[in-house]
Amino acid sequence: MNRSLSLLLSLKLGMQAGLLAGLLLLTGYSAAAPIETFKFDSPEKEKIFHKLSEELRCLVCQNQNVAESNADLAKDLRQQIYDMLSEGKTEDEIVEYMVQRYGDYVLYRPPMKPMTWLLWFGPVIGFFFGLFFVMRFMKAQSGSKQPQALSEKEIERIKNLHAEQDGK
Amino acid sequence: METKQPTTLRRFMPLIIFTALVVLLGIGLTLNPRMVPSPFIGKPAPAFELPLLLQQGNFSEEDFKGHVTLFNVWASWCFACRQEHEVVKYLSSNGVRIIGMNYKDESDDAKAWLVRLGNPYQAIATDLDGKVGIDWGVYGAPETFLVDQDGIIRHKVIGPLSSVENMQDLLEVSTEQGFDALSGVLKTIIKKMEK
């Protein structure tokens, strides 16, 4: 029983460490953003601009968003977002424009649809799958430690064995 | 006490799971992350109007109608464009209609490049600031769109046409669509490339 407790504890610690690492990854942010100056006529537009350029993937550089990348295409896409905002387009309209041209791939937050279910729920399914095996393993371990009462047949057999030995 | 003897299947379960994982990750590793499938396949070419590089006038999506066209995005700064140039020239000299889109280039550089390496294009539209490129979902050169006689985009080649793999994909679509003339030319050049 002690052993399974310590296993549980280490599992919990591991999960905490994993969570922390995950959070760090999520919030990990490149400080070196390319320098450009865009003038916005309202703070809302500026907010949308920053939000969009952080959520759209730079297609040529991979694993960088449009805000971080110095690639030419990222520059063009930033300009495009700025132009569309200046024309009074909404956030959704701009996202739709990008998806129409570059597909869902351009989004760092892919939409929820049957094709992306595995992407969204895969990690959770994987976690419960793993948890199931850990639990089963722990149960088997604790079970094997507790000796069960001997059946009558077994007692009989031991007696016989002793008798056999004594007889020799 | 009864102990369960693990069956053979149970004994090999970890190995099976491990192998499955290795195969899955292996596939993931060999996929090209630069291949972004185009959402334009089967859709009409986006509307645009661009000035021509070498002649007077403009080129618009209307000019695709009536012919099967390869719309080739290139630039003089693009190294892979030079690699594929011989293939583009071969296609052109065998009757394939090739329209160029000079993408984010300097017109003088582009003209000099054509003089040096030869001009296989029937017309070249110039997209100086890359705006039309964005409209077409272009994210690098070279890219080549297969546009049918109704102006519908049928295929997008990402990367140079000098890659046999790219050409085989193009041939597959061309055959599917029944572009017999194009398929014929593609078949011959693929054979040459494989040698």
Taking alpha carbons only, the member of B82, B134, B76 closest to residue B108 is B76
Distance from CA of A119 to the nearest CA of B (A): 14
Instruction: Note the pLDDT tens digit of each residue in A142-160.
Output: 766 666 678 888 888 888 8
Indicate the pTM of the whole model: 0.71
- What percent of chain B clears pLDDT 90, i.e. is strictly above it? 77
Q: How confident is the model at residue B4 (pLDDT cuts 50, 70, 90)?
A: low
What residues form DSSP beta bridges with A107?
A: A56
Average pLDDT over residues B123-137: 92
Asked if omega into B160 is within 30° of 0 (cis), the reply is no
Alpha-carbon Rg for chain B in angstroms: 22
Taking alpha carbons only, the member of B106, B107, B4, B17 closest to residue B53 is B107
Instruction: Note the pLDDT tens digit of each residue in A73-130.
Output: 888 899 999 999 999 999 999 999 999 888 888 888 888 888 788 888 989 999 999 9
pLDDT, position A30: 44
Chain A residues with CB-CB distance to B34 below 8 A? 60, 62
Instruction: Write the ipTM.
Output: 0.71
Q: What is the CATH number of domain A31-111?
A: 1.10.8.640
Please identify, in words, the CATH class of the domain defined by B49-194. Answer: alpha beta
Q: How confident is the model at residue A29 (pLDDT cuts 50, 70, 90)?
A: very low
Classify residue B159 as left (phi > 0), alpha (psi -120 to 50) or beta. left
- What percent of chain A clears pLDDT 70, i.e. is strictly above it? 74
Domain boundaries, chain A: 31-111, 112-144
Chain A residues with CB-CB distance to B139 below 8 A? 59-60, 73, 102
Residue B190, helix vs strand vs coil: helix
DSSP state of B43: S
Residue to mutate among B16, B32, B36, B106, with most A CBs inside 10 A, is B36
Tokens of B105: 């280039």
What's the length of chain A?
168
Chain-chain contact of A76 with B37 (C-beta, under 8 angstroms): no
Q: How confident is the model at residue B154 (pLDDT cuts 50, 70, 90)?
A: very high
Q: Looking at chain A from residue 111 to 140, which residues have their Cβ under 8 Å from any Cβ of chain B?
A: none
What's the length of chain B?
195
